[in-house]
Amino acid sequence: MSIFAVTAIAILVSAAMALGRAILGPTSYDRILAVNAIGTKTVLLIAVLGFMNGRPDFLDLALVYSLVNFVGTLAVLKYFKFGTLRGGLSGTRKRGN
């Protein structure tokens, strides 16, 4: 068994632990952080599997997935904080007259 297979197994175990935190997390922010960690571990797993199979183009997929994971996490956090995804990032809401 190569060191990359051991690494892939370790990533899967840590992703399973993060899934447990996502299910059992006491607050919504714990759950969001756990889902973000699962996304990060998925990026690592794609990169390791691409290296194991001799497919360096998997790194491109891992980079795209990491950007989607980052933007998705920001969108979810903004929705939880402000209740909407509309408007700017300043968080100020216009008052109605």
Q: What pLDDT, on the 0 to 100 scale, is given for residue 40? A: 95
Q: Which of 89, 46, 44 is nearest to 71 (CA)?
A: 89
Indicate the range of 44-53, 67-76, 82-91 predicted with least confidence.
82-91
pLDDT for 80 beyond 90? no
Cα distance between residue 63 and residue 47, in whole Å: 9
Q: What pLDDT, on the 0 to 100 scale, is given for residue 12? A: 95
Q: Which of 77, 62, 70, 69 is nearest to 27 (CA)?
A: 77
